[in-house]
Structures are given as C-alpha cells and as structure tokens.
Amino acid sequence: MFESNTEVSAEEQLARFNRYMDEVIDHREGLTAKTAESAGWIARIQAAARVQNQAAALEFVAVGQLFGYRLSRSAETEDWAIDTMEAVAAEVAAGLKISHGLGLAKVRYARAMRERLPQVAEVFIAGDIGFSAFATIVWRTDLITDPTALAYVDTRIAASVTRWPSLTAARLAKKVDTIVAQADLDAVRRRKKNQKDREVYIGEDCEGTSEIHGSLASPDARALDAKLSALAATVCPHDPRTRDQRRADALGAMAADATRLGCRCGRSDCTAAQRKPASPVTIHVIAEQATLDGNATTPASQISAEGLITAELLTELALTATLVPLIHPGDAPPEPHYRPSTALADFVRARDMTCRWPG
C-alpha cells in the first residue's frame, strides 16, 4: 500500500498513511466502543449466566432434598447414609439418563451444599458463582473434619469469593488453600507428615522395566515434570515413541547427565541434532521475607501451580534456592519509559500470578 512512487510526494505519502491509520483506529473503536446496544447485550449475557448458575445450584438443592427425604425414611446414621447415597444416585442417574458415577457425584455435591458449605451454597444459589468454582471449593475443602474449622472456612470463602477477580481453577484452589491453612490444624499436621515422609522408591526389575513411586517437594516435582517434557521434545518428529514413552526414557537420560534424548527414527536425514538441547528449568516461588526469616508461618505460593508451600518446607527449600527480593513500585522512583523494567515486571508477575483480565 505504501510502495515507493517517484510521482507521489512525501507529503502525499504521509497523508495516505494518516488516512489509513484513521481508518484502522475507527475500525478498532467500532469493535470495542461501549454503546447502549452493546451494554444491553452484555447485561443479557450476564443475566443469562446468572440464571444458568442458579439453575445448576437448584438442581443440587433438589438432589439434596431427595437425599434428606430418603435418609429420614431409613435411619440418620452414617452407615445408612452411605446406602442412601447409592440409592439416590441410582434414582438421579435414571432420571437424568446419566451414569451411576455421575449420579453419585451429584449427590456428593448436594450433600456438600447441605451439610458442609451452606454459606458457599447460598452464594451458588444466588448465581454469583458457577458450578466449576463451587466444585473446586468442595474439592479443596473435602479433607476438613473439624466442624469449627469447616464453619470458619465456609464463612471466609462465602464472604470473599465474589470479590476475587477472574480466576483459573488453579488460582482459585490456591485462594481456598490459603484460607484452609489458617483454620485446619489437622491439615497442617498432615502436611508436616507428608513432607517428612517424602521418598522415592524404585521397584524390582520386571522383564526389563521397573516401577518408580515417590513423593517430592512440589517445586521439585514441577521442575522434574518440566525437565522430562523438555528432554522428550529434543528428538525429531519421526521418533517412533509416544510422548509418554519419551518422558520415561528421559529419566534415564537425566541419570546420564544428558542434555538431549537420543532419537530412534533411524533416518539418515534426522534433524534431532539441529534441535536445541533441553534448557534448565526454573520454578518460581513467592514468599514473604518474614516466613523466610522464620518469624511467620504464612505459606508461599508457586507460580502456575495449585496448592501452597508451607513455612517449614519453604525454610528447607531456601537453603539451596536463589533468593531474589521483589521491589514494591511504591519503594522505587517512577520509571520514565513505557516498557517496565525487569524489577517492575517481576513484581507484577509475582503479585498477580495469573492474567488480570478482566481485573
């Protein structure tokens, strides 16, 4: 569009460019400008989403009422409740034409609304959260056995969940885990035991293969997972192994200190040698300085991962980790350029740990 032409002056070329840019800007504004019509459609979308959330919640309310009715006609004991769950799951599955397993899952969520998280259930019934968010909350609180701790967690989540920005499932799980960590002492004891008992077990040889089982610190597990995937990707596209097989073989390559996996395509024109070797893996963990100093018990967060890292484990990890302080923008002078500095970009990523859209 802007090809060189000796018959067109520089002023005319600039004028053409400006007209073109005006058209682009007008087009973009037409796509994003808020008008009465667009606001009306957004309002309808929001209303429909709320109705959808409410309908999903009311389905579980009805399932819970059916469960309560069946349980009252047998005996209100935990043993009978298990039988009642199976019976109601069968009824629900038949009524909805779904599998018994899905029917049983609906009964479990219904019981969670009635018996474990009544205040979160009210938020769900109001349509302020959807089923996926409710399911994540149920899953992350499922191990709480102390009624007082459960009531505290229920109250805190119900009061906070509608104020949280848009969250991925992992980010929501981390928010819930933070609240649970403040209330459930049994969970704290379980975490300490799990951390103390971590190990890697390699089974006996079985016709040329051996099984590996174990538990690692979460950052180490994430790093190992990423490293296996990176090594598995160093072969050429013609390697006959599946990705899972290559990841398994990558463990052997790591044991031999290899930076790439040997390709098995057998082709003379194999391009594996042209691929970059697997790069080192970095796992980012965000923690408060007071916790690192041993003066607080606030758990740390691992970027792009579910769950929390306890203060006890964090202290141990810090012994071999590279510690980089985050500078709060309020403690630094204004930056005179559009692109943020590395320090500011690091702070924003550590603060949000997720996309901020829509805020």
Q: Could you tell me where the beta strands, DSSP code E, fall in the chain?
A: 200-202, 212-214, 285-286, 300-302, 308-309
Mean pLDDT along residues 162-184: 82
Distance in angstroms (rounded) separating the CA atoms of residues 122 and 158 = 8
Please tell me the predicted confidence (pLDDT) of residue 302. Answer: 66
Residue 123 confidence (pLDDT): 96
Q: What is the pLDDT of residue 304?
A: 60
pLDDT at 281: 66
Query: Which carries the bigger pLDDT value, residue 85 or residue 30?
Result: 85
Three-state DSSP class for residue 303: coil
Residues 124-168: pLDDT tens digits? 999 999 999 999 999 989 888 889 999 999 999 999 998 886 777
| Averaged pLDDT score across all residues of the chain | 83
Whether 263 has a pLDDT exceeding 60, the answer reads yes
Give the pLDDT mean for 194-217. 81
261 secondary structure, DSSP code? P
Give the residue with greater pLDDT, 306 vs 56.
56
Q: What are phi and psi of 275, to 5 degrees?
A: -80, 150
Could you give the percent of the chain with pLDDT greater than 90? 31
pLDDT digits (tens, 9 = 90+) for 72-116: 887 655 556 678 888 999 999 999 999 999 999 999 999 999 999
What is residue 320's predicted lDDT score, i.e. its pLDDT? 72
As a whole number of angstroms, the distance between CA 107 and CA 74 comes to 17
DSSP conformation class of 150: H
pLDDT, residue 126, reads 95
Mean pLDDT within 12-31: 76
Most confident of 169-173, 224-228, 285-289: 224-228
Q: Whose CA is closest to 140, among 198, 184, 102, 104?
A: 184
Contacts of 199 (CB under 8 A, 6+ apart): 214, 215
